[in-house]
Structure 1
Amino acid sequence: MTTKKINELIKLNDELENYFRNTIIPQLFVDANLRLRKFTPPAMKQFNFSPEDIGKSLEDLNDNIRYSTIVENVTMVIESGEIYEKEIQTSDFNWYQMNIIPYLVEKSKKSNGVIITFVDITDRIKVLKDLERLIATHETFIYSVSHDLKGPLSNIEGLVNDLIKNAGPTSDWNEEAQDDHKLTSSLLLESIASMRNVINELSEIIKIENNYKEEVELVKIESLINQVKLVIRDAIHESKAIIHLDIQVPKIKFSRKNLRSILYNLLSNAIKYRIPNTPPIIHLKIEKAEGFTHISVKDNGRGMDEEKQKLIFTPYTRLAKDVEGTGIGLYFVKKIIENEGGRITFNSKPGEGSEFNIYLKNV
Structure 2
Amino acid sequence: MDAGVGAVVIDEEGRICQVDADWSTSLGLSQETLLGERLDALLDPPPSWDLLTASRPWRGELRLRCGGAGERWLRTHLVPVLDEAGRMRCCTLMFEPLPSASAHQGVEGGSRAQLLESVADSASDAIVVARLERLEVIYANRAAHLLFGCDPESRDMIGRAGGQFWPEDGLAVLEALLPEALAGGWRGELRQRRLDGSEFLADATIFALPSPIGAPELVAGMLRDLSARQQAERQRRLAHFALERSGDEVFLLDAEARFVYVNESMHETLGLSRAQLLTMSVPDIDPLFPQERLQELFRRLLDEPSIRLETIHQRGDGSRFPVEILASHFVVDGEPYYSCIGRDITERVAARRALEESQEYLDTLIDTLPDALFAIDAEGVVTIWNRAIEQMSGVPREQVLGKGGRAYATAFYGESRPMLIDLVFAPPEAREDILRCYDYVHRDGDVLLTQVYLPRVFGGRGAHVWGKAAPLRDAEGRVFGALEIIRDITELKEAERALRLSEARFRSVVSNTPVMIFEFDADGVFRLCEGSGLESLGLEPGALVGQSVAGFLGADTGVETHIAQAIGGDKVQFTAALGRQVFETYFNPVRDPGTDSGVSVIGVAVDVTERTEREAELRQRTDELTRFTYTVSHDLKSPLVTIRTFLGFLERDIAAGDEARIAKDLGFVRNASERMTRLLDELLELSRIGRLVNDPTEFSLREVVDEVLELVAGRIVERGVEVTVSDAPAWILGDRPRLTEVFLNLIDNAVKFMGDQSAPRIEIGLERLDDALVVVIADNGKGIDPRHLHKVFGLFERLDLEGDGTGIGLALVQRIVEVHGGRIWAESPGPGQGARFCFTLAGLELRTAG
TM bucket by the smaller chain? 0.3 to 0.5
Determine which structure has the larger helix proportion and give its number.
1
Higher relative contact order (CA 8 A, sep 6+): 1
TM-score norm. by structure 2 comes to 0.21
Larger Rg: 2
**Higher share in strand:** 2
TM-score, normalization by structure 1: 0.45
